[in-house]
Amino acid sequence: MSKFAPTPNDKFAFGIWGIQNRGRDPFGDATRPAVSAIDAIRGLAERGCYGFEFHDNDLWPIDATPAARDAVLRDVRKVMADTGIKATMATTNCFYHPVFKDGAFTSTDPAVRLYATQKVMRCLDVAAELGAGVYVFWGGREGVEVDVAKDPITTAGWFRDALNFLCEYVLTQGYDIKFSLEPKPNEPRGDLYLPTVGSMLAFIGTLDNPEMVGVNPETAHIKMAGLNPYHEFAQALDAGKLLDVHLNGQKPLRYDQDLSFGSDDLREAFLTIKLLKDHDYSGTIGFDAHPYRTESDPWDFVERNLRTAKILMDKVRQFNENRQIQDLLAELHGAHPELADMTKKYSSATATKLKNLELDPDHLAARRLPLERLDQLFTELLLGVL
């Protein structure tokens, strides 16, 4: 049991909104009692979490007076000091209040766009004060049902202007904060803008300060689009833009389920952890999920997410050390080593050499690839019999 007990060195973090989730869905009311933000943060610390993630309005209500907000922040700083837990990621709730019903930064009303920008600035001040180094933008209302109403190039321009302005705010305040954009294909809007990691990466390249903006991919959002989380996380990592992750579970192409990590697809969960470990991802490992509606409190749910991740870390170690698997991988990757780096650097001599190289496609196609065996070894490793 204790072998898989999480410690702060694992750099696990949880969005407190998942702990505070009371089981409401579009068809039914709350099924469990409220958990205060402070109890959520303390409970995470007690279970070995390194950090917590929060929205402004997870901590203080949207209509809180500055004095009420400061009182909450005093309590937050106290629980952080008492337990050592860190605020690793902050974000703004720009989706719950009706003011955002047709978008925050992509609203047609400039006053709504400014209200969203002001809300972010105020929460950025708190994020800096609590030491959160990553600030996420999840555009829950940044989308449409009626596409004739808005030109997506115009809306992208509004979002770009807001991010450029907010980057300058962070820079001039001297905050040590990076922005991280979280893509999602749909829900709650019919279509959300910038639905995938690839769209976010392309968009970041159009900003004034692209070096201070990255991506925060989430397993469930990727699977809602029918895409492969391993590949999506990898693309962000390869671009040097993986600032934060939201791990969870999701059946493909369905409503947003936010299931526990690994509960729907252990292979994908393994591959996600393997990617983060093999490539020395140094950010926090954030979980963004919520308990089943049938749970009476969030703690079995929290513990299982952390435990699954720890067990998968151990499985990754076993995979990387397993002789049979590594021999098969070496065989798979061992073809024609003398050709492997031929196009690494261009020269006209290499171009001529390549043009004249004898490569027989029928001969190459005849190569035996032991993928069934490899996949079965992987299955047996996960099943614990290898």
> Does residue 218 belong to the site contacting Mn ion (CB under 5 A)?
yes
Q: Annotate each residue in 110-139 with x if it binds ligand GLT (CB under 6 A) or - if it does not, as one string.
A: --------------------------x-x-
> Can 297 be counted among the known catalytic residues?
no
> Does residue 17 belong to the site contacting ligand GLT (CB under 6 A)?
yes
Catalytic residue among 56, 58, 258, 265: 58
Q: Determine phi and psi for 53, rounding to 5 degrees.
A: -120, 145
Contact partner at residue 290 from ligand GLT, Mn ion, none, CB < 5 to 8 Å by partner kind: none
> Does residue 91 belong to the site contacting ligand GLT (CB under 6 A)?
yes
Give the distance, in angstroms, between the CA of residue 208 and the centroid of all CA atoms in the same chain.
Answer: 23
Stretch that binds Mn ion, among 112-120, 264-272, 282-290, 300-308 (CB under 5 A): 282-290
> Can 279 be counted among the known catalytic residues?
no
Closest CA to 374 of 267, 264, 226, 261: 267
Query: Cis ω on the peptide bond leading into residue 188 (within 30° of 0)?
Result: yes
Catalytic residue among 25, 29, 55, 125: 55
> Does residue 264 belong to the site contacting ligand GLT (CB under 6 A)?
no
Question: Measuring CA to CA, how many Å separate 269 from each of 169, 178, 198, 248, 313?
Answer: 37, 26, 21, 9, 10
Q: Which residues contact 16 (CB under 8 A, 6 or more apart)?
A: 37, 40, 41, 44, 52, 53, 54, 58
- Asked if 41 contacts 52 with a C-beta cutoff of 8 angstroms, the reply is yes
- Asked if 242 contacts 199 with a C-beta cutoff of 8 angstroms, the reply is no
> Does residue 142 belong to the site contacting ligand GLT (CB under 6 A)?
no
Write down the least CB distance from residue 58 to ligand GLT, Å.
9
Stretch that binds Mn ion, among 71-79, 246-254, 263-271, 313-321 (CB under 5 A): 246-254
**# chain residues binding Mn ion, by CB under 5 A:** 3
Instruction: Give residue 11's identity as a one-letter amino acid code.
Output: K
What residue ranges bind ligand GLT (CB under 6 A)? 17, 55, 91, 136, 138, 182, 218, 246, 288
Instruction: Give catalytic residues, as residue numbers.
Output: 55, 58
